[in-house]
Amino acid sequence: MTDRPRVVIVGAGFGGLSAARELENADVDVLIVDRHNFHTFQPLLYQVATAGLNAADVGYVVRGVFRREQRVRFRKDEVIGVDWDTGEVQLEAEGPVPFDHLIVAAGSSTNYFGVDGAREHAFPLYTLEDAILVRNHLLSLFEAADSEPALVDDGVLNLVVVGGGPTGVEVAGALVELIDKVLEQDFHDLDVHRARVVLVEQADRLLAPFSERSQRYARRTLVRRGVEVRLGTAVRRITADHVELSSGEVIASRLVVWAAGVRAGTLADRLGVAQGPGGRITVGPDLSIADHPQAFAIGDVADIDDGHGGRLPQLAQVAIQGGEHAARQVLADLEGRPRTPFRYHDKGTMATIGRRAAVAELPSRHGTRVLQGGIAWLTWLGLHLVYLIGVRNRVSVLVNWAWNYLTWDRGPRIILRPEVLPHSPRVEPDARRPTHGPASAGDGAAVRPGPGPGRRRSR
């Protein structure tokens, strides 16, 4: 060990990495702790889930980011608490790690809002493992329906997306493209257009942070492409084979993608510090944790005042700018300079709906510039490529996007963890439906399906 000040960063997300980069040339020792050895580019997780990208395209090894920085180290472990009296971070697998300054960038976790059955039966989409599970289960459902077409009448191809924010809109749009343009060519004996994609949103509009103009465009585009949009409708209950809505509607479904929101990561509950809405850690104007000036909280885990009586959203840009600011406050302390308050610079918001369809709202000198359609889609593609970590990842994603655009083909349609799916009761009355989560019980003989609801083709 050296005599240099020790800075521990909890989390290798956008905020944690931006803080480490700000400190990499300073006269300090930096230790990043994360339970995964890779950074996840979360904005593109939905493309992994819908077979648009490989998992490795959106993950980058943390040690590779700082391979030339001797003062930035990484430890794969999980932080389970902090001893504020001794100034030590407590790890699950190893002994405590001392710190002079601490930056908590632990991210967020899925918020199920107490919906009955959501935790047990819905599929969240927040981690790389989540995305792979969604892809595995989605493709397994189509394989099961191809082997036993009677399952289609049981709703095995009804896909429900809960949440009308950017993630929900992007997932729903990607699903209809996957079904109409890719799986249609893969499954010659299965009428894939009997599949349904249903987007459920409790509010009366999609994309709440966007303007009304963008909201109308998003809904109109999704409906035109075949998504069934349910606005002003909450989810009451989710079971292994159906979803119950507040309207009284019951939708048979074996895949419910939960994109309804997040809360602060579970570490926030174990730190013994003040917390705000959604369990987020209360911070001061300089992002320091209340009563612990040597520690900072940034990104999704922090409850940050937006300066207008509201809270800053849980977005990548908030985490990136927060990480840079927290690191500068550490350097200010070490150099004897006063700290400065955090000022967030809004760089805009965007969401893609599918090929040549997106919305982007970007600040300009004359107010907010609203983009829609192809130009917004190209802007979305370009900015996501810029923020991806690693040249290899950028090249791989660009090649995948170009190939998909030219051919409508998607490469990673691989089921890594095969599932055993249920029989149709029309084929074998004694077959049992799954009682928990995505996995269930055996195969059966195929029969031709009877008439059922269809879905419009994508345009």
Residue 344 inside a domain? The answer is no
Give the range of the structural domain holding residue 331, as residue numbers without chain letter: 6-35+77-110+262-335
Residue 422 inside a domain? The answer is no
pLDDT at 339: 98
137 in the same domain as 205 = yes
Looking at per-residue confidence, does 141 or 429 come out higher?
A: 141
330 in the same domain as 229 = no
Q: Which of 391, 407, 423 is the last residue of a domain?
A: 407
Q: How confident is the model at residue 38 (pLDDT cuts 50, 70, 90)?
A: very high
358 in the same domain as 253 = yes
Share of the chain above pLDDT 70, in %: 90
Region of poorest pLDDT, from 68-82, 179-193, 417-431 = 417-431
- Report pLDDT digits (tens) over 130-180: 999 999 999 999 999 999 999 999 999 999 999 999 999 999 999 999 999
Q: Which of 335, 365, 391 is the last residue of a domain?
A: 335
What mean pLDDT value characterizes the chain?
90
**At residue 424, does pLDDT exceed 60?**
no
151 in the same domain as 97 = no
pLDDT at 416: 82
Return d(Cα 247, Cα 237) in angstroms, integer. 12
270 in the same domain as 247 = no
Give the pLDDT mean for 32-54.
Answer: 97
Give the pLDDT mean for 49-76.
Answer: 95
Residue 59 inside a domain? The answer is no
Give the pLDDT mean for 338-354.
Answer: 96
Among 247, 243, 231, 299, which Cα is nearest to 123's? 243
378 in the same domain as 245 = yes
Q: What's the structural domain count of the chain? A: 2
Residue 63 inside a domain? The answer is no
**At residue 442, does pLDDT exceed 60?**
no
256 in the same domain as 142 = yes
pLDDT at 136: 95
Residue 212 inside a domain? The answer is yes
Among 367, 286, 373, 369, which Cα is nearest to 333's? 286
161 in the same domain as 268 = no
Q: What is the CATH number of the domain that holds 216?
A: 3.50.50.100
Q: What is the CATH number of the domain that holds 30?
A: 3.50.50.60
pLDDT at 181: 93
The DSSP result for 102-158, as a single string, is EEE---EEE--TT-BTHHHH-EE-SSHHHHHHHHHHHHHHHHHHHH-THHHHTTTTE
Residue 393 inside a domain? The answer is yes
242 in the same domain as 207 = yes
293 in the same domain as 272 = yes
385 in the same domain as 273 = no
174 in the same domain as 140 = yes
Return d(Cα 245, Cα 242) in angstroms, integer. 10
Q: Which of 407, 434, 453 is the last residue of a domain?
A: 407
335 catalytic? Reply is no
- For residues 67 and 61, the answer to whether their CB atoms sit within 8 Å is no
Among 52, 46, 454, 455, which Cα is nearest to 227's? 455
**At residue 302, does pLDDT exceed 70?**
yes
Residue 310 inside a domain? The answer is yes
- For residues 284 and 303, the answer to whether their CB atoms sit within 8 Å is no
Residue 70 inside a domain? The answer is no
pLDDT at 367: 84
**At residue 308, does pLDDT exceed 90?**
no
pLDDT at 422: 57
List the catalytic residue out of 170, 184, 228, 244: 170
